[in-house]
Structure 1
Amino acid sequence: MSHLESQWILAEVPEIPPEVGRGMPEILVRMLLQRGVEPDQMEAFLHPRLRHLQDPFLLPEMQAAVDRILCAVDRHERICVYGDYDVDGVTSVTLMTEVLAAYGARVRSFIPRRGPEGYGLNQAALSRCMQEGAMPDLMVTVDCGTASVDEIAYLKEQGVDVIVVDHHELPPAGKPECVAVVNPKCGSDTDIDFSYLCAAGVVFKLAHALLKTRQLEHFDLKNYLDLVAMATVADIVPLVEENRLLVRHGLRLMENTHHDGVKALLEVAQVKGPLTSADVGFRIGPRINAAGRMDQPEEALATLRSKNMDEARQWATRLDVHNRERQSEEQRIHRQALECLESGGYQDDPVIVLGSRDWHPGVVGIVASRMMRRFHKPTFIIAIDEEGMGKGSGRSIGGVSLMDAINANRDCLEAGGGHAMAAGISVHEDQIDCFREGFSKYVLEHVDVKDRLPRLNLDVEIDFSELSLDFLNSYELLQPFGSANQEPMFMTREVYLTESPRELKNHHLKLSMKQKDCWQSAMFFGAGERALPPQPWDIAFTINRNVFRGRVSLQVVIQDVRAHRKED
């Protein structure tokens, strides 16, 4: 496979003011300053504490939501918790349902099926919801509902009160008319900004508000931080402010979780502590998402709500099976997409837009991500149904806004929305070529070639001699890593191999390297098919903690290599 060379961009070295970060390694202080952490915030950033959580009643319409829920509890009304089928939605449904059940509420839960019903609060899913149980007196939507103006109006006509607990953007038509819309993106009367929260984070704040209003002796909300952490990482929301605090504590709790379903997921994924956000993002989250992608979201919910370890293991095993099916389907579609790219003669296009009637709509987003990373081009992969209507998922590169491109090509599309870096479209089969051509034209006219080249942003230049377990211990205080707090990327210069690379399965390379008088082993994942440059090398790498047979070591994970350059 040919490799597209990245431009390495080393961050400027910030000047460290006197007395700042006394007692900390200098490199750690530099990385904190690079991340915009002010000197007086460093201690709170490195050691976030739960007592720093803000008052939940600072979120909009929280009081109205609390009052209506407690009223429903006291009146023994029927409550339905309706959520989305991804990790954020399933964990939100779990937490909201558990809290209401702890109050003795008459509560049931419902999650729509992605394929036949689609995302969010929609009429097809509502019809099945009403068939499966009695008409509720109160519906609490989590991770959806903010844009469901018509559906909520319909529920109101049926005599159903609605509370929306969400984090998505407001539609142009404004908020739906309902009891309360607890959504930080709906504005606030205070200066506190909670817009970074995922849905599970907002549900956690609602649960906190309920418990502040009416305490429950045998319910400890802290025991649910593992679910909140799971959702926050999987939904790729910024790991800032309270998100950072919730994830830090939630990951620690997950290692000794109170939830049988989470224990079972850790078992089937073969994840052992200490847990990181990468474990959640790449090993736990995909198993929960796989159920929704394969149209079995209720199985993910059953896993998280299990109260029996044997039952939890059975459900977690089913999620693992769904995940393997998803992986197999992903590999098949990815292989066909590569063939389609070549056979269609689209290799030289500035974008990738491919579609097929043989592709599963639940997997095209993952394939789009793989194609985007492999070719460093903005990509849409489209699954077309029997009627010729395509549902596509897009992923972009820095410098190219998918939303701007969609808005410039509305004439070719049935619908489209999302964000600059990830978006979805609905397009008829016979309009895919039109969209591809318009998308290509937009990119060529609005984005310079240099802005479409791959870039590798490097945090710190460091020598092998500076890598140690002591440094690793202080470095790990920067965790959890994720959106808005990316894992630091290091670089070092002029290293040599001490022996030939050893190729492992899946084309991974195990390397032994030397820099001056220091030796260091490293992993270079997926590099077995790549042509390596002549030595000596400069390497870009991340670090992590490796535990093997009880022995702890610092592991170097190479992200890129190039022939050595004295200066950039």
Structure 2
Amino acid sequence: MIAQSTPPAKRWIRKPFPDAVPQQTAIESLTASLGVSPFLAALLVQRGVHTYEEARAFFRPEINHLHDPFLMRDMDRAISRLDRAMNPERPEKILVYGDYDVDGTTSVALVYGFLKQYHSAIDYYIPDRYKEGYGISQQGVEWAAENGFTLIIALDCGIKSVDRVAQATALGVDFIICDHHRPGSEIPAAAAVLDPKRDDCAYPYKELSGCGVGFKLLQAFCQCRQIPLTDLFPHLDLVAVSIASDIVPITGENRVMAYYGLKYLNATPRTGLKALINIAGFRGELDITNVVFGIGPRINAAGRIQHAKAAVQLLLAEDDEEADAFAMAINKHNNDRRQFDSSMTEQALDMIRRSEALTNAKSTVLFDASWHKGVIGIVASRCIEHFHRPTIILTRSNDKAAGSARSVPGFDVYEAIEECADLLEQFGGHTFAAGMTIAEDKIDAFRQKFEEVVARKIKEEHLTPLIDIDLPMDFSEIDAKFVRILRQMGPFGPHNMQPTFMTEEVHLASEPTIMKEKHLKIQVRQRTTHRASQTLTAVGFGMAHMAAHLRAGSPFSICYHVEQNVYNGNISTQLMLKDIRCS
């Protein structure tokens, strides 16, 4: 197990209070029209909700808020090529190809699972993480050609696969690419390239997941074939899982799809997801956090430990027994993944602590040929929890080094890696996460150059963990109605995070309790409230070390989420601590 250590101090950043005249007018209007407190109205204005109509769209997203899929560049070409392949008089074999992570496997399950209802000559392909690597592989293209496929629908990958698409064209295989990653300087010469991040794409929403782009393809397909969209909407459970797990902004279309996807996930989950929910031990209503920490890692574990095809088989399963068997196997993979994760993280942290240069650097780049490729991204994230800075973890893969990068809020790790592109075989990704391949003899040069780039670009505040505080709050604001409305502000995620509040002059109402030797539980009271002081339960995961700093009668400040706790049928309000500051 990883030794527990005191986490680094955090920066508390208070968002500006909406006190300009137009904002104050909006607060007054929302208070009257919604029947909420001025405090809750201020929280809404802070999130860009100013009118009753905007509040209605925020609290009750409508499925008809989804954009016309034909606003996406190449959508007409994609549907034309798909129609030609599905012509019953001259049917072609279609291969649905997706990446091995959650976004890729949910994308494949979505597109393959839906299209097979209308076309029997269809199959799917997931590349082997260890033998083929990320994206469209030479092996995958050759397999498609050898087996008579003439159209590949690539999901969550392909935007940089210029050579692989050219190879496929030479073999008589066309591509429809559905991706959401940043394009390179050249767009592949495919039959159609759907990617809202293309510079020449005017699609109004740019932050779709890979599965989301696949959903837009199916939406267009349904519109052209006059298939009721109500046939497609139940598949939003898969899109919601991809949105949560790929950490894309939960705004715009993503918010609509996540909102309805969670409804399907909670009311009528597909057989495979129901099996995962059961094996994860979830009770009650699932939210984005449950998916991120309970469902996503288990789906990911299939490709991390063995082959991600098992995840697609689970997501497509229709028989309860079959789904339960797949879920049990995947859950075992997830347990194995946790063991790899723990031991590798301990090794990585030890490497940093034993090196003065690594300890004092602005970035972390570590390599060990024996590390398990399937969990290097997780280990990068774990290192950031201890050393808050851009981190890349590398291991040996097919005579090269494969790496996974993670960043910290405010720093674009993709751009930093791009400046080191001359040392890399290939790379791709997002602002906060990326992957790469590099020759082992270039790792030291890459480490040095990456450090130079990061040191030049990163700001000092980016190197300290940040807590964004929405508003300071008096405990008197917290009642059942307040908690109910807060819950309705979900689904929460990037760009619509769960509100974080700050309260000062808080006192202990009883002695602190330590749970499982690492978690803190305290009863708190605020003596400055305008009403009779109420005592609230506050829980801080991994904050047991703070118990020694809390003294009866001594005031302290807390920042926290307000949550509803359900235990043995009893419902209570609970504060989930983010940090504590002692006076």
2:491 to 480, 487, 512: 480
Amino acid across the alignment from 1:546? N
1:556 aligns with 2:558: no
Amino acid across the alignment from 1:523? V
Amino acid across the alignment from 2:557? D
1:461–1:492 CA contact under 8 A, matched in 2: yes
2:347 to 316, 336, 344: 336
1:261 to 272, 283, 287: 272
RMSD: 2.3
Report the equivalent of 1:171: 184
1:209 aligns with 2:220: yes
Report the equivalent of 2:537: 521
2:507–2:526 CA contact under 8 A, matched in 1: yes
Q: Given the superposition, is the C-alpha separation of residues 119 and 451 from structure 1 closer, same or farther in structure 2, using an over 3 Å criterion?
A: closer
Query: Structure 1 residue 321: deviation in Å?
Result: 0.8
Report the equivalent of 1:356: 368
Report the equivalent of 2:9: 5
1:34 aligns with 2:46: yes
SS of residue matched to 1:363: helix
Alignment of 1:132-211 (within 5 A): 134-174=147-187, 176-186=188-198, 192-211=203-222
Q: Given the superposition, is the C-alpha separation of residues 266 and 154 from structure 1 closer, same or farther in structure 2, using an over 3 Å criterion?
A: same
Q: Distance in 2 between matches of 1:431 and 1:476?
A: 50
Report the equivalent of 1:104: 119
1:125 aligns with 2:140: yes
1:102–1:219 CA contact under 8 A, matched in 2: no
1:278 aligns with 2:289: yes
The CA deviation string for residues 150-176 of structure 1, in whole angstroms up to 9 with x for no partner, is 2112222222222112222222122x2
2:520–2:547 CA contact under 8 A, matched in 1: no
1:375 aligns with 2:379: no
Q: Distance in 2 between matches of 1:411 and 1:157?
A: 28
Q: Given the superposition, is the C-alpha separation of residues 500 and 420 from structure 1 closer, same or farther in structure 2, using an over 3 Å criterion?
A: same
Q: Given the superposition, is the C-alpha separation of residues 353 and 555 from structure 1 closer, same or farther in structure 2, using an over 3 Å criterion?
A: same
1:8–1:458 CA contact under 8 A, matched in 2: yes
SS of residue matched to 2:384: helix
The CA deviation string for residues 121-155 of structure 1, in whole angstroms up to 9 with x for no partner, is 11033344556xx2212221111122212211222
Report the equivalent of 2:91: 76
Amino acid across the alignment from 2:302? A
Query: Structure 1 residue 104: deviation in Å?
Result: 3.3
Q: Distance in 2 between matches of 1:268 and 1:378?
A: 34
Amino acid across the alignment from 1:69? L
Q: Distance in 2 between matches of 1:70 and 1:495?
A: 65
Q: Given the superposition, is the C-alpha separation of residues 95 and 424 from structure 1 closer, same or farther in structure 2, using an over 3 Å criterion?
A: closer
Query: Structure 1 residue 252: deviation in Å?
Result: 1.2
> TM-score scaled to structure 2, two decimals?
0.90
1:249 aligns with 2:260: yes
Q: Given the superposition, is the C-alpha separation of residues 218 and 200 from structure 1 closer, same or farther in structure 2, using an over 3 Å criterion?
A: closer
Report the equivalent of 2:106: 91
> TM-score scaled to structure 1, two decimals?
0.92
Query: Structure 1 residue 529: deviation in Å?
Result: 4.0
Query: Structure 1 residue 312: deviation in Å?
Result: 0.4
Q: Distance in 2 between matches of 1:179 and 1:386?
A: 31
Q: Given the superposition, is the C-alpha separation of residues 527 and 163 from structure 1 closer, same or farther in structure 2, using an over 3 Å criterion?
A: same
Identity %: 36
Q: Distance in 1 between matches of 2:457 and 2:332?
A: 44
Amino acid across the alignment from 2:219? H
1:314 to 317, 320, 325: 325
Query: Structure 1 residue 102: deviation in Å?
Result: 1.2
Report the equivalent of 2:30: 20
The CA deviation string for residues 523-567 of structure 1, in whole angstroms up to 9 with x for no partner, is 110112456534321001112222112222222110100014xxx
Q: Given the superposition, is the C-alpha separation of residues 444 and 55 from structure 1 closer, same or farther in structure 2, using an over 3 Å criterion?
A: closer
Query: Structure 1 residue 430: deviation in Å?
Result: 4.4
Q: Show structure 1 runs of 5+ residues with no match.
A: none
Q: Given the superposition, is the C-alpha separation of residues 303 and 446 from structure 1 closer, same or farther in structure 2, using an over 3 Å criterion?
A: closer
SS of residue matched to 1:265: helix
Report the equivalent of 2:530: none
Query: Structure 1 residue 410: deviation in Å?
Result: 4.8
Q: Distance in 2 between matches of 1:526 and 1:87?
A: 27
Q: Given the superposition, is the C-alpha separation of residues 53 and 482 from structure 1 closer, same or farther in structure 2, using an over 3 Å criterion?
A: same
339-348 vs 415-424, which moves further: 415-424
2:154–2:176 CA contact under 8 A, matched in 1: yes
Report the equivalent of 1:116: 131
Q: Show structure 2 runs of 5+ residues with no match.
A: 528-532
Q: Distance in 1 between matches of 2:94 and 2:429?
A: 31
Q: Distance in 1 between matches of 2:180 and 2:403?
A: 23
11-20 vs 426-435, which moves further: 426-435
Amino acid across the alignment from 1:37? V
Amino acid across the alignment from 1:496? H
Q: Distance in 2 between matches of 1:196 and 1:321?
A: 33
1:533–1:561 CA contact under 8 A, matched in 2: no
2:79 to 66, 88, 99: 66
Q: Given the superposition, is the C-alpha separation of residues 161 and 442 from structure 1 closer, same or farther in structure 2, using an over 3 Å criterion?
A: closer
Amino acid across the alignment from 1:396? S
Q: Distance in 1 between matches of 2:568 and 2:547?
A: 33
Q: How many residues align?
A: 559
Q: Distance in 1 between matches of 2:501 and 2:394?
A: 37
1:394 to 405, 425, 434: 405
1:255–1:272 CA contact under 8 A, matched in 2: no
Q: Distance in 2 between matches of 1:430 and 1:161?
A: 37
Amino acid across the alignment from 1:92? S
SS of residue matched to 2:536: strand
1:539 aligns with 2:558: yes
